[in-house]
Amino acid sequence: MALTLNRRAYEHARRLVQQGHVVLDEREGWSEHRPSAQRENSYIEEHGMADYGRWYLGVDDQTDENTKSHYGFPYGDFEKVHRCGVLAAESRAGQRQYIDIELAAAHLHGMLEELVNTARNS
């Protein structure tokens, strides 16, 4: 599997963060917050595969783009960006040496940390 950065998803995530569509949860929350396979399937039925792909920072150009396996490194719940999802994506991308995905996730992480700091200082 050769994943590369899904720029469309990265830009979507950036816009969502800028608009405040975020959940500032803890690192370990992703296993509970990540959409289930059933939720993914429902989302695809309602919105289509292209929209589904906007929620994944990685794409595998060696797989069919009309399959879920084409996408990797989810960061949200199809409504909001989750801090725990971004942290999980950043960590896993770094471990697997997908540098472009790791850097994109790190940038999103930084944007989310600014929101955390702003909330603390308010």
Kindly report the CA angle at 22 between 89 and 52, in degrees rounded to 5?
A: 60
Which token pair is 21?
């569509």
Query: What mean pLDDT comes out for the span 104-116?
Result: 96
CA atoms of 6 and 55, how far apart (whole Å): 9
Phi, psi for 52 (deg, rounded to 5)? -55, -45
The domain in which residue 111 lies consists of: 3-121
Phi, psi for 20 (deg, rounded to 5)? 85, 15
Indicate the number of domains in the chain. Answer: 1
- Note the pTM of the prediction, 2 decimals: 0.94
In tens, the pLDDT along 32-79 reads: 999 999 999 999 999 999 999 999 999 999 999 999 999 999 999 999
Say which DSSP state 34 is in.
S
pLDDT in the model for residue 65: 92
Is residue 27 within 8 A of residue 84, CB to CB? The reply is yes
Query: SS3 string of 69-105?
Result: HHEEEECECCCCEEHHHHHHHHHHHHHCCCHHHHHHH
